Amino acid sequence: MSELTLPAWAALPAAVLLLCAGFLTLVGSIGLLRMPSFYSRMHPVTMGTTLGAGCALIASMLVASALAGRPVIHELLITFCILITAPVSAMTLMRAAIHRGGRAGARAPVPQSQER
Amino acid sequence: MNSLFGVAAAFASICFIIAMLLALVRLFLGPSAQDRVLAFDTFYINGMLTLLMLGVRTGSGVYFDVALLIALFGFIGTTALAKFLLRGEVIGP
């Protein structure tokens, strides 16, 4: 693990991107654990899985390019896959939650004036 | 400079693993089925990122293929579970 010799132009942005990715993903999962209802649990998870994964994939692309000495962009495959599939799965899950809302225990958000 | 990068990669790996553990807790105690599906979605994406970090830290290209397959099949699994929750069947008429 320590025999990698990265040039500074790749190591510094990759380190910053990895720090951002770890922080965002951890915040997303803490939000998943602590938010009160399903509809509010969707938000932090989406942030963690798109922004955090994007930062980690760009950092991985930088490191692979610096190690190979040429542009290596095959991490873009995972990036496009996640970017295309994350909204689809989020929309399908949300429709399922609305469909099952009555018997699932997770209430739909009601306006402030009607809340008891 | 390389020590800074190593520390950042180790921090990212630890963060992803803690995120996996938190998603696992939500997976086990989620009150409804869609909570569990959402936790499973978070879980496999964090596992994919952990494998990717392993590939970055070792400089090996093997882990990339595993991460790509996990991303593809995890999406299929999440969508199939959500469709099942939506209609009671995965592939409808």
Token couple for A78: 């995972």
The letter for the amino acid at B59 is G
Decide if pLDDT at A19 tops 70. yes
B10 and chain A: CB distance < 8 Å anywhere?
no
B37 and chain A: CB distance < 8 Å anywhere?
yes
Enumerate residues 6+ apart whose C-beta is below 8 A from A112.
Answer: none
| Residues B4-46: tens digit of each pLDDT | 888 898 999 999 999 999 999 999 987 888 889 999 999 999 9
Q: Which residues of A touch B2 (CB under 8 A)?
A: 2, 4-6, 11
Name the one residue in this structure whose structure tokens are 């520390």: B7
Q: Which residues of B touch A89 (CB under 8 A)?
A: 41, 75, 78-79, 82
Q: Are A69 and A60 in contact (CB under 8 A)?
A: no
Token couple for A48: 């963690």
- What is the set of domains in chain B, with CATH numbers? 2-87 (1.10.287)
ipTM: 0.86
Question: Burial letters for A52-77: b for 16+ Cβ neighbours within 10 Å, e otherwise?
Answer: bbbbbbbbbbbbbbbbeeeebeebee
Minimal CA separation from B15 to chain A, in Å: 5
Q: Which of B7, B15, B57 to mutate to test the interface with A (most CBs of A within 10 A)?
A: B15
Are A88 and B79 in contact (CB < 8 Å)?
yes
- Average pLDDT estimate for A76-102: 85
Taking the whole predicted model, whether its pTM rises above 0.90 is answered as no
| Residues A44-55: tens digit of each pLDDT | 988 888 899 999
| Residues A20-53: tens digit of each pLDDT | 999 999 999 999 999 888 888 888 988 888 899 9
Q: Are A70 and B66 in contact (CB under 8 A)?
A: no
